[in-house]
Structure 1
Amino acid sequence: MSFGKTTPILRIFDEVKAREFYIDFLGFCVDWEHRFEPGLPLYLQISKDGCVLHLSEHHGDCCPGAALRIETDELEAFHQQLNAAGYPYAKPGMEEMPWGSKDMTVADPFGNRLTFTSAIST
């Protein structure tokens, strides 16, 4: 038996704010998006390298306030990039963890917390 990758679904409430945060600030790309018809809630997939996230305006898909960890081998460079971006709602810091890695947590406009970590699983 084997299992594949996990794709978290994060609740969003405002398409413009979601794109400003995930695309413009964090640097994710939109892979695809779907609406059942114009004016209905948005569901989209975004990615940055091997990290894939789904964002949903559908109230039944998930609850706001999720927390997730995203591994990166370029945490310090990403930290510098984000702080240089001029995004007015986040200036993330980095934290040394007791187990030897570094973490950087950023909250999206909808209460979801993304922790980027240098701790790489094997």
Structure 2
Amino acid sequence: MTVEKTIPVLRIFSYEKAVEFYIGWLGFTIDWEHIFEENTPVYMQVSKGNITLHLTEQVGDCTPGAKVFFWCNGLEAFFNELQTRPYKYYRPSYEQVFYGAMCVSVTDPFGNRLSFNEALNNSV
């Protein structure tokens, strides 16, 4: 078996809040959305660069409070980009962490945490 890609599925409770956070602030794009019929929960895919996430309002898909860890490059530029679009509910920091990396960690409106990390001097 060869795994081609891993796509975390994160629970959301509000389409509008998810769009505000993931699209408006973090800069993801909506790849597609699925709604079974009118007035039912949304299941959607968002992406930014090589990151793909599935966001679901479906009650049985998963529980809120997940944490997704990303290794990335260009983290300081991403952090600076976030500073140009302040998000009313969150102010992340850009900090060095114990495992030899810089980190920008954010929590979405539903309790899911996203940890963006960049190794210092190839130390990880």
Render the CA deviation track for 1:54-85: whole Å, top value 9, x for unaligned.
00000100000000112220100111111221
Q: Distance in 1 between matches of 2:99 and 2:114?
A: 19
Equivalent position SS for 1:32: strand
What's the RMSD between the two structures over aligned residues?
1.5
Render the CA deviation track for 1:58-117: whole Å, top value 9, x for unaligned.
010000000011222010011111122121111100221223211111000000000011
Counterpart code for 2:107: A
2:11 counterpart residue number: 11
Q: TM-score, normalised by structure 2?
A: 0.92
2:68 counterpart residue number: 68
Identical residues among aligned pairs (%):
48
Please list every run of 5 or more consecutive structure 2 residues that lacks an aligned counterpart in the other structure.
Answer: none
Structure 1 segments (4+ residues) deviating >2 Å: none
Bigger strand share: 2
Q: TM-score, normalised by structure 1?
A: 0.94
1:39 counterpart residue number: 39
